[in-house]
Amino acid sequence: MLLSFDTDKLPSMSLFVPFASATKSMKADFHQALASLSPVTFMITDSFLPWTLDSANKLSIPRFAFNGMTTFSLSLARSSHDLLRTELSDDEMFTLPWIKLTRNDFDSPFRERKPKGPFFDRTLEQAMATSKSSGLIVNRFYECRLF
């Protein structure tokens, strides 16, 4: 079973959150299809589909989240998260061990000191489901690697 979505076909990225939320309408059919399969050893679903974790848990199937971002961008996002909540000005530089950035280098809502809004909520939902998964599979430059 393959669930794949091409968000660059959306007419506007302002439709991303409604589109992502609409994927939840597949939840019951996904669960039913998954339950009808012969014993499943594990499943890999896109981190974009956090609701698949519910089916995995109910059916005792280990779920691995797949994230299409590179390990570099995931590392950058994870390392900068706490720094963006500090009192740095928008153009004050901060340094991660390998790169210099300012708050202005990040898109809203992530550059905000107290991020909020539908996109941020969606990102949190994905992050929570990923953290409760059995693992995360990410892109390396030449191959996929399990963390």
Model confidence pLDDT, tens digit, residues 83-109: 666 677 777 776 677 777 777 877 777
Task: List the domain boundaries for the chain.
Answer: 7-81+118-146
**Tens-place pLDDT, residues 41-85:** 999 998 889 999 999 999 999 999 998 776 666 777 666 666 666
Helices then strands, each counted (H, E), the chain: 5, 6
Give the whole-angstrom CA distance, residue 71 versus residue 69.
7
Report the first-to-last Cα separation within the chain, whole angstroms: 23
Alpha-carbon distance of 18 to 5, in angstroms, equals: 14
